[in-house]
Amino acid sequence: MYDTNHLISRLSAASTGRGDAPFAHLPDGSVTSFGALFAGAERMAAALVQSGVRPGDRVAVQVAKTIEAIELYLGTVMAGAVFLPLNPAYTTPEVAYFLGDATPSVVVCDPARLDEISGIAGPATVMTLGADGRGTLRDLADQQDGFDAVARGPDDLAAILYTSGTTGRSKGAMLSHANLASNSETLRDYWQFTAADTLIHALPIFHTHGLFVATNVALLAGAQVVFLPGFDLDAILTAMPRATALMGVPTFYTRLLGDARLTKERAANMRLFISGSAPLLVDTHEEWQARTGHRILERYGMTETNMSTSNPYDGERRAGTVGFPLPGVEARVMDDDGVVAPGTIGVLHVRGSNVFQGYWQMPEKTAEELLPDGWFITGDLARIDADGYVSIVGREKDLIITGGFNVYPKEVESLIDDLPGVLESAVFGVPHPDFGEAVVAVVVASDPTLDVDAITGELAQQLARYKQPKQVIRIDALPRNTMGKVQKKALREEYAGLFAT
């Protein structure tokens, strides 16, 4: 009953005939089997269709991480619709933009936010799903009985994930069934996941890393997961002796290294530690290997491409690099004159079945970044050495990655500049021992009585917590070059030691 749906047929194949096998071990001690997971997804699909969802419709979801949320993801794809996950930390003004742009037919939110989301959802049907797994969507799903997956081909859209633009306007990256299935199948094989694995799943499920890497890879392998609502130091350390793999961001590893319980003995059953979403410091690599006997495998990806490169499973995992292009993925480093020589820095381009279909309702932006021959211009500065290892050395644009989340300065600057008493501002990232980078804002005042605490308070109402500056600093003038461009490099250098330990 799933055969005609490209992605669902693949995600369910490894558990066919193994319906009673455990899939998710939940924090309350309960276990969800593969059979129960897909049966729950069928009920979610039926509930969505009953609520008016048709093939190609968008289903926007801003909920806590629960097994029911995974069922909703699978159920959306089963129904032939397009899954649109949103960070639960997004404020109402942020969500209003996504809903206005994507025009979903159904919006699913936390019960506590029903009134505010209903006020910005337009004609969409709004349903709820809480952290306890209950809500009006679950109530409707519980009344359903089975569902035959809607036929969807490789090129049909399965998801839209929003990624911020440097102009402050978020872009909806359109990902097809084939984009997601092919990339996850490659990762399963490259990282050698099988039904014998147990993955510690502590990543959020509103972006590529936790949803399309961790979840999809586990399903494709028929593996089990220790399903945690978020990063929980005690829970991860407790799970480690019976688990075999962990996917995380650098913050996971720095925090684990800060606990004396992390030892070689505790990690003895583990076979693989994977890190991504932000650069991992060489010191972290070395300290992790000394403490656990394991070498972290670092990889590289983007919302638009899923995963593009990875250090090898068998072979040298080089600190400071993100390894080689994955099987089926091509990578090149370009400057204005073409492909650069090995070891030379330029802009990274990638091509393969992992590369997205373009930006939702942004044909001009798509044409700028996705070339007619399939190459995607990542905007990341990189070099490829003589051995083929890729290193990400910077960003062509001023993207900040803090705790694995992307922050585009222009979005924050626009809000600060609109506040009374502010003449202008600049937002940039500086090194942070825990988050990799911290968001910092410098402000030039037009009113000498301007209070930076008031700026902090106002931003807290407008921005998700990870986007909020960890420090707001008043300065007399922004540094500029002769062309009047703000010199953020100078600001980053001046404040580089702000959070030094």
The chain-wide mean pLDDT, for the chain, equals 94
Kindly state the average pLDDT of the residues 318-329.
96
pLDDT at 169 over 90: no
Global pTM reads 0.86
Place 296 in a pLDDT band, splitting at 50, 70 and 90: very high
3-state secondary structure 174-230: EEEHHHHHHHHHHHHHHCCCCCCCEEEECCCCCCHHHHHHHHHHHHHHCCEEEECCC
pLDDT at 395 (0 to 100): 67
pLDDT at residue 399 in the model: 78
Give the pLDDT band of residue 166 (cuts 50, 70, 90): very low
**Model pLDDT for residues 328-347, shown as the tens digit of each residue:** 999 999 998 999 999 998 89
Q: Is the pLDDT of residue 279 over 90?
A: no
Read off the DSSP letter of residue 242. G
Q: Alpha-carbon distance 278 to 296, whole Å?
A: 14
For residue 390, pLDDT beyond 50 = yes
Residues 133-163 as b or e (16 or more Cβ within 10 Å = b): bebbbbebbeebeebebbebeeebbbbbbbb
- What pLDDT score does 252 carry? 93
Mean pLDDT value of segment 192-199: 98
Where is pLDDT greater, at 346 or 76? 76
Q: What confidence tier does 394 reach under pLDDT thresholds 50, 70, 90?
A: low
Run of H or E including 354: none
As a dihedral over the C-alpha atoms of residue 199, residue 205, residue 208, residue 214, rounded to 10 degrees, the angle is: 10
pLDDT tops 70 at residue 351: yes
pLDDT at 489: 84
Which residue in the block uniquely carries the two structure tokens 């029911």? 68
Average pLDDT over residues 222-244: 97
Average pLDDT in the 315-328 region? 96
Angle 360-126-209 (CA atoms, 0-180°, nearest 5)? Answer: 50
The residues near 72 (Cβ < 8 Å, ≥ 6 apart) are 41, 44, 59, 61, 63, 108, 129, 137
